[in-house]
Amino acid sequence: MARRTRWWRVIRMAEPPAASSADATTGSELREDVLRLDGRDKAASSASSKGAAYDAAVATHVALLRGINVGGAGKVAMSDLRAAVASLGHTDIATYIQSGNVVFTTQDNDAGTLALAAGLERSIAETLGLQPHVIVLSCDELAQVVRGNPYPNESNPRLLHAVFLGRDPEPDLEDRVAAAERQAATKGSRDSARVVGRTIFLHTPDGFGRSELAALLARNGGPMAVGTSGTARNWATVTRLLALCANS
C-alpha cells in the first residue's frame, strides 16, 4: 500500500501531565521516546514539542492493550511489542509510553478492527507469551472519539478518561453506568460518565485514583472489570495518540 503523506498544521501540545493509574505509567515514562522499527528511532519531542509542523506518513490504526506493565505484572518491552506488531506485516509502527499503545498502518485494506485485534492478540501470545485484550480503532474512529468528548470544558486531562470498549455496548450499558453514577453520588462523589458509541467518557473531578465511580465500573460485570476488554486511557494519552496518527 502506498504511503500517504499530508501536511499537518502546527500542533501545540503541553508537556504531558502526571499519568493516572489507568495509563499504568510514571512521570518519567511519560517522557519516554516514541520509538520506531525502521532503525531511525525518533524522539518523542517531535510529537510533544510545543510547536512543530509535520509532513509524514499517516497511520491507519491504533491498538490499545489492557493489563500490561501494571504493578509488575504482564511486563512487555515496547521493542518486543513493536516486533510482534511488525510480524503481521504492519508498518509505520510507533509505541507511546509503557501501557500498551501502538499506532500502525495495516496493509490489509479489507481487515476490520475486530480481525486486526484478534491478529494482534495471537501474535502477542505466540511471541511474548502473554494474552492481553487488544482493542483496535481506526485513526478516523479515534478522531471521532475526540470530537465526541462530552466534557470539552475540562482543562485537566488527568481528570478525564476514555474507556474504550472492544465491541458495541450492550443495550443496558447506559442504564448500568447511570445507576453506578447515582450509587457513587450517595457517597459524595462528583464523578460522572457518558456512553458515546463504543466509548465511556469518565469524568473524575476529584481524581481518578480516588474515584468511587471508577471503582464501581471496575467491579465484576462492569465495563472496566478484570477479564473484560474495556481499557481506559486518560485524555492526555488519547490526544497524543491522535497526534501520532498524524505524525507516524
10 plus 115 within the same structural domain: yes
* pLDDT confidence bin for 23, thresholds 50/70/90: low
How many CB atoms within 10 Å of residue 88? 16
102 plus 138 within the same structural domain: yes
pLDDT for residue 39 is more than 90: no
91-115 tens-digit pLDDT: 999 999 988 999 999 988 888 999 9
User: If you write DSSP's letter for every residue of 196-215 in order, what string do you get?
Assistant: ETTEEEEE-TT-STT-HHHH
pLDDT for residue 33 is more than 50: no
Q: Name the residue with higher pLDDT: 24 or 176.
A: 176
pLDDT for the residue numbered 99:
86
The total number of structural domains that make up the chain: 2
Average model confidence (pLDDT) for the chain?
79
Of residues 34, 8, 2, the one with CA closest to residue 105: 2
45-63 tens-digit pLDDT: 333 333 222 334 578 999 9
pLDDT for residue 248 is more than 70: no
Across 177-186, average pLDDT: 95
138 plus 159 within the same structural domain: no
191-246 tens-digit pLDDT: 999 999 999 999 999 999 999 999 999 886 788 876 666 899 999 999 999 999 98
Across 23-30, average pLDDT: 41
58 plus 168 within the same structural domain: no
Q: How far, in Å, CA of 223 to CA of 227, rounded?
A: 10
pLDDT for residue 147 is more than 90: yes
Across 170-196, average pLDDT: 95
79 plus 136 within the same structural domain: yes
87 plus 105 within the same structural domain: yes
Q: How far, in Å, CA of 122 to CA of 137, rounded?
A: 17
Inter-CA distances, 178 with 172, 185, 219, 229, Å? 10, 11, 15, 20
123 plus 201 within the same structural domain: no
137 plus 169 within the same structural domain: no
* pLDDT confidence bin for 18, thresholds 50/70/90: very low
129 plus 174 within the same structural domain: no
CATH number of the structural domain spanning residue 99:
3.30.70.1280
Q: How far, in Å, CA of 219 to CA of 184, rounded?
A: 13
30 plus 140 within the same structural domain: yes
pLDDT for residue 175 is more than 50: yes
In this structure, of 15-29, 79-93, 110-124, the range with the lowest mean pLDDT score is: 15-29
Residue 45: give the domain boundaries. 5-146+236-246
Q: What type of residue sits at position 204?
A: T
Of residues 57, 67, 78, the one with CA closest to residue 21: 67
Residue 104 phi/psi, 5-degree rounding, is: -160, 165
182 plus 202 within the same structural domain: yes
Residue 39 phi/psi, 5-degree rounding, is: 85, 0
CATH number of the structural domain spanning residue 219:
3.30.70
In this structure, of 2-6, 67-71, 108-112, the range with the lowest mean pLDDT score is: 2-6
Q: How many CA atoms lie within 13 A of 31 on its CB side?
A: 4
20 plus 105 within the same structural domain: yes
